[in-house]
Amino acid sequence: MGIAVTMRRTCFALLLLSVLAACAGLRKAPPPAAEATSARDIARSEPGKEDAPTRVFDDATRRASLAKRFPGAQSIDLVRFLAWTEERSGPCWTEAERPWEMKIDARYVVGSEEHAASLEELRRQGWLALYRTPNGAGFERRAPFESIDLTLSTVYACRCATGSSGTQDSKLPVRLRLRWQGKGNMPEVSASAEREGKHKGLLVSFAPGNLMSYEFPVRASYPGGRPGSCGGTLSLSLLSTPPMQ
């Protein structure tokens, strides 16, 4: 009887010691969060060297490739400008100023320095008036330009018919500029639209080649939030040597 009691006490003591040892081991183990913090890479505030992108070309190769694709124009032998409007949308439509109403400031060199402030002056200097179907007009000149700085301003009118046989109108002034400073330079072409007294640049669609083409879509809402898109497209084409690839 005494031996059995003693063995039970001994077993209970051994079991208690095992439980206490296990608890002590859990307290000494490092917290998982600390390990994760020291080992993580994704959340670094600064990238390491292994994060730097592999450079495909060195700077000299990149510059040489850029110069090959865009070497600068040695000559420009044709300048053509066209503007047209979008098709009618229900009771709304877009109208553009007629070519002789556009504001023009053209300064260029073809043998000698020339300056024109209207389509009529350009025509006297050898430019041709153009039309585009549908709803388009512009001008062009084929000549060996030595340099050119051309700024053209026009207005798109957004109009909607009302039930009282009248119209509700809003206007969208736009401006296009071409500047080429002569042999070896790239032509600089940009366009903007005026909204609420501020000019905002227009996105361009560019097609390289012998005949470089720049197209600037002009978009605005019709008065009163009517469906459809008011506007049109400004287009500039340059015959350049060598071709832009």
For 6, list phi and psi in degrees, rounded to 5.
-60, -40
Question: Domains of the chain: which residue ranges?
Answer: 74-244
**What is the pTM for the complete model shown?**
0.69
Please give the helix or strand (H or E) that residue 176 lies within, else none.
Answer: strand 167-180
Q: Which of 129, 144, 156, 131 is nearest to 223 (CA)?
A: 156
Torsion angle of alpha carbons 101, 107, 110, 112, nearest 10°?
120
Q: Write out the H or E segment, with its range, that includes residue 120.
A: helix 119-124
In terms of pLDDT, which residue wins out, 233 or 160? 233
Distances (CA, A) of 2 to 9, 11, 15, 75, 118: 11, 15, 20, 118, 126
The Cα–Cα gap between 85 and 137 comes to 10
Mean pLDDT of 55-59: 65
Lowest mean pLDDT among 23-32, 154-163, 173-182: 23-32
- Only one residue has tokens 């400073």, namely 181
| Angle CA 230–130–94, to nearest 5 | 15
Residue 214 backbone dihedrals phi, psi, to 5 degrees: -120, 125
Q: Residue 191: what pLDDT? A: 96
Determine how β-strand 75-85 pairs with β-strand 229-244: antiparallel
Place of tokens 């008036």: 129
pLDDT of residue 245: 76
* Tens-digit pLDDT profile for residues 86-134: 877 778 888 888 888 899 999 999 999 999 999 999 999 999 999 888 8
- Assigned token pair, 95: 């109208």
